[in-house]
Structure 1
């Protein structure tokens, strides 16, 4: 009897297995890069018709310079943390981007800087907001993570912490650029001469934001040890008031990294990225819904964020070295490099 039952079991298994379909592993779930790096320099109404060949070449050159700094660190076996910070610092020191030296002005004609950093291995993070005299906000964000018990510091307290930790302190005038200052004056003048009622004023600012260029900078890197790091740095929004803080220093909105899923850096209309928890949502969809990086970034940016009325984009890099540029604006300054040294630099939507 036992032999009969055993024989039936073998037959059932043999014929039953013939009906089972072998589900192929999604290509994006396979390891494609041992190390990689991806960056952005902001998204918005960036149109080729408004860009001279000379200006385009300048942006392309700076994006190339920045990403190669981080890539070289990774190629030589350095950490994703160092690659992200050094890459972002190149862009912070350039007046081309709305971060560090090129930060936009507040309504009070000051520069208030925000930044955040996250380590995918430990899920530890650091962030700063409303900083006015620290040369490298991304370096300060990292220092908050490594040298304090906190995640976010703001304003004067963040500056005191930076000084105590030996970071470079500069006079606020260091962040002044004529281009950014004139941009603020144009917005103030338009608001003064064209607006008579509060409802018109609100409509004006909404339109102005939607048509803006969000020059926030960000970077995500995967090193040879499989560790992901992400960072974001910004000057915020032109003509911002009342100590406004956007998504860039908010972990889960502007920045997120998890070795089990991916790393993300955001750029765009911050209020919507905060409400959507854009960076974390992408990671969560990969973790809980088993989506690929491309599927997750498309869903969050093209569906969820767009439906809510938000504009902007992300750069993202997963644990297998897959990379994604995703944005719902006319353009995004962006670049990537894989472990074979292939460099991609783009500006416009294609």
Structure 2
């Protein structure tokens, strides 16, 4: 069984005119990822490629679309986990890298560490030939206009290639965040998690998500509950502390789960036996 689910963030889409384009794009990303799976690429490669697509699109809070912090520059986080080996790679406080998810993968595959931050992480990226961009790359008209925004919308993907599950996440964080703030996204178990049974990625207000360890929290309910019901119970728990966010997941059999307690969440999924991609907000 092969399956993929992606998200483009949970929250209140204040710029409602963007909703159709954003829904169409996450559906395009899921469809592209599933085509890659059918071509034989493994889940790590597929997860990185689809998250890069979301990082490169200016309408999502990751990569080029990252929100600016209180001083007007980006600080991006990303993470990835291979459920078959429990290998982890995460980065935080990235300012100049085009695609932080690529660096998270490098940390997982080419370092002895699980997480690197700030200048040290960017030094590791430079040593490994990743692409850097100038600051103005991130200063899109949209980001400047919504500098006063009130929520974050991390991007992420969970991929099953028939052998293993991989979860990947990337974010620019919350608007006008304190310099040095790190949210849930690069924190394993909170922003992302994968093992041999299921994989998950969270989105929303990171400070709330970390309190309930949202992505790993599925293990409290699954497999006694279906992955879909387990995800819903996790969001109920988030609501119980007045937290706000969303969660996507899939299990080893390709079953899909997603839920949110915000006004919406951009999502799309595709799996074997499914004729067309499903997505929405």
Alignment TM class, shorter chain as reference: over 0.9
CA RMSD of aligned residues (A): 1.5
Higher helix proportion (structure 1 or 2)? 1
* Equivalent-residue separation in structure 1 for 2:41 and 2:220 (angstroms): 28
Asked if 1:51 corresponds to 2:23, the answer is: no
The aligned counterpart of 1:6 is none
* Equivalent-residue separation in structure 2 for 1:167 and 1:118 (angstroms): 20
TM-fit CA distance, 1:316:
0.4
Unaligned regions of 5+ residues in structure 2, if any?
A: none
Higher strand proportion (structure 1 or 2)? 2
The aligned counterpart of 2:103 is 140
The aligned counterpart of 1:39 is 6
Is the 8 Å Cα contact of residues 258 and 283 (structure 1) preserved in structure 2? no
Compare CA radii of gyration and give the structure with the larger one: 1
The aligned counterpart of 1:198 is none
How many residues matched? 280
The aligned counterpart of 2:48 is 85
Q: Deviations over 1:65-103 (max 9, x none)?
A: 211221111112211111111011111000010000000
The aligned counterpart of 1:5 is none
The aligned counterpart of 1:110 is 73
Task: Classify 1:150/1:284 alpha carbon distance in 2 versus 1 (closer, same or farther; 3 Å).
Answer: farther
Q: TM-score under structure 2 normalisation?
A: 0.96
**3-state SS, counterpart of residue 215 of structure 2:** helix
Structure 1 range deviating more: 98-107 or 291-300: 291-300
TM-fit CA distance, 1:174:
1.3
Moved over 6 A (4+): none
* Equivalent-residue separation in structure 2 for 1:116 and 1:339 (angstroms): 26
Is the 8 Å Cα contact of residues 43 and 164 (structure 2) preserved in structure 1? yes
The aligned counterpart of 2:216 is 280
Task: Classify 1:56/1:269 alpha carbon distance in 2 versus 1 (closer, same or farther; 3 Å).
Answer: closer
The aligned counterpart of 1:258 is 195
Is the 8 Å Cα contact of residues 69 and 83 (structure 1) preserved in structure 2? no
Is the 8 Å Cα contact of residues 232 and 258 (structure 2) preserved in structure 1? no
TM-fit CA distance, 1:284:
4.1
Asked if 1:339 corresponds to 2:272, the answer is: yes
Q: TM-score under structure 1 normalisation?
A: 0.77
Is the 8 Å Cα contact of residues 9 and 60 (structure 2) preserved in structure 1? yes
Unaligned regions of 5+ residues in structure 1, if any?
A: 1-33, 188-207
The aligned counterpart of 2:260 is 327
The aligned counterpart of 2:251 is 318
Is the 8 Å Cα contact of residues 69 and 179 (structure 2) preserved in structure 1? no
